[in-house]
Amino acid sequence: MSNVLTAGAFLFGTLLPPRLSDRALLSNDQLPHVRLRNGRLTITPLHTTVPPEAEELGRCAYELLRWVRITDLLVEVDEMTGMSQHFTHLQTSEPVTDPRALYTVLLAEATNLGRLAALECLLHRGGNQPE
């Protein structure tokens, strides 16, 4: 009789005999790092295999990054691309006069923060108050 690759075997890289079902192995706690209790499957999380030297290198690289607010980045990109000129006021068709406010509202709506959170951010950063 040949071995078959079962779900448990796939997870743990071993071949199990076909006569043993995964459910039987689970119910008898015979799969390493896997438990089935009250119909709930629990798999023990893997521990990191990243060497400490790589962790330290990652921390050093991260410290070299410049901190920037996403709205500041979007305004900087807008200065190069002129993207905000394609946005106009819905009722008056006037062009955007404050790109920072535009991008703050777009981000707030995109992340479900809402207009109130956007207004608080603008007022906190000294932006123009909307009319």
Write down the pLDDT at residue 79: 95
Question: Cα–Cα distances in Å, from 54 out to 46, 49, 51?
Answer: 18, 10, 5
Q: Could you give the CA distance from residue 93 to residue 86 in angstroms, rounded to a whole number?
A: 11
Task: Name the amino acid, one letter, at 69.
Answer: R
**Residue 90: what pLDDT?**
87
CA–CA separation, 110 vs 103, rounded Å? 10
CA neighbor of 104 nearest in space, from 129, 79, 131, 81: 129
Q: What is the mean pLDDT of residues 100-116?
A: 82
Residue from 22, 19, 27 nearest 9 by CA? 22
Answer with the residue of higher pLDDT: 100 or 113.
Answer: 100
Q: Are 93 and 84 in contact (CB under 8 A)?
A: no
pLDDT given at position 4? 43
| Segment among 12-26, 35-49, 61-75, 109-123 with least mean pLDDT | 12-26
Each residue's pLDDT tens digit, 24-56 = 666 677 777 777 777 777 888 877 788 889 999
The pTM of the whole model exceeds 0.85 = no
* Whether the predicted pLDDT of 88 surpasses 60: yes
What is the predicted pLDDT for the residue at 57? 94
pLDDT mean over 103-129: 71
Residue pair 36/51 in contact (Cβ under 8 Å)? The answer is no
Lowest mean pLDDT among 12-16, 99-103, 119-123: 12-16
48-76: b (≥16 Cβ within 10 Å) or e: eeeeeeeeeeeeeeeeeeeeeeebeebbe
